[in-house]
Amino acid sequence: MRLDKFMSQCGVGTRSEVKKILKTGCVTINGIVAGDGKQQVKENEDVVCCQGRPLTYEAFEYYMFHKPAGCVCANRDAVHETVFSYVPMNARGDLFTVGRLDLDTEGLLLITNDGIFAHHLLSPGKHVEKCYLAHLNQPATPEDVLRFAQGIDIGEQHRTKPAQLSIDPTDGTKVRITIAEGMYHQVKRMMHACGKEVIYLKRLTMGAFVLDESLALGAYRKFTEREMDYVTEYKSSYL
Ligand code: URA
């Protein structure tokens, strides 16, 4: 593989950024300074260092992102910021979000380039649970809890699958909702069918993944070792 492509795939930067870095002479291949991006490297044999730091080639990348409101889950958008304006690691341009959150929804968003992992989390047959915190324009009621448990007609061919609604005992306008599907605007439409509007929505969990509350809004990080174990477990269908 070409050195510039290798460096870009290791997340050093875009090809043009890599070109500039190479010009500074801070990149070595097996201890010898490399100046030309066209040079060939064997990604699993050669030791490539940038500013003395060895680069490791990772075929797959996994990030947890704390999505703020006001950005869309798309690679490009003519009007709004996209999640990728917050994730400059997308140097090779193959990252995508595992599912979508609405423009005004905050919270847990997983970003990867591993399609098989994403499939295991998104496929309807896998029933992966997602938990949301919602603030409503009026208090939820025990009847709403029952309706959620029975599944709700939101104008689709079938009712939603049974979902859990739990009401904050000190403030009925704050609820937690757990669903195992991912229909368009599903949480908002389920609440709307109960006569309430969602005025704030935040995703807290997706399957085994829990939003790392130490991540500020708009921040992201690589998966931890434990989360990488979940990836392996999902891909072997143990989870
Ligand atoms: N349900 C919604 O209504 N919006 C989201 O962003 C996610 C789930």
Whether ligand 1 lies within 6 angstroms of the CB of 102 is answered as yes
Ligand 1 pocket test, candidate residues 83, 135, 177, 188, most atoms within 8 A of CB: 188
Residue 104 annotated among the catalytic residues of the structure: no
Exposed, middle or buried by CB within 10 Å (0-12, 13-18, 19+), for 139? middle
Assign domain 3-54 to its CATH superfamily: RNA-binding S4 domain (3.10.290.10)
Q: What is the DSSP string of 174-191?
A: EEEEEES---TTHHHHHH
Q: Rounded to two decimals, what is the model's pTM?
A: 0.82
Give the DSSP letter of residue 40: B
> What is d(CA 9, CA 89) in angstroms, rounded to the nearest whole number?
9
Q: Which part of the chain has CATH 3.30.70.1560?
A: 129-206
Contact 5, 12 (CB under 8 A): no
The confidence score (pLDDT) of residue 3 equals: 94
Ligand 1 closest atom vs CA 101: 6
Catalytic residue among 46, 77, 94, 102: 102
Q: Which part of the chain has CATH 3.10.290.10?
A: 3-54
CATH fold of the domain at 62-124+209-238: Alpha-Beta Plaits (3.30.70)
pLDDT digits (tens, 9 = 90+) for 77-93: 999 999 999 987 666 67
Range 129-206 has CATH code 3.30.420.40: no
The confidence score (pLDDT) of residue 94 equals: 86
pLDDT digits (tens, 9 = 90+) for 184-210: 999 999 999 999 999 999 999 999 999
> What is d(CA 36, CA 24) in angstroms, rounded to the nearest whole number?
11
Where the chain has pLDDT below 70, the residues are 89-92, 238-239
E-strand stretches of 16-163:
27-29, 32-33, 48-50, 53-54, 62-67, 71-72, 81-82, 96-97, 106-112, 130-136
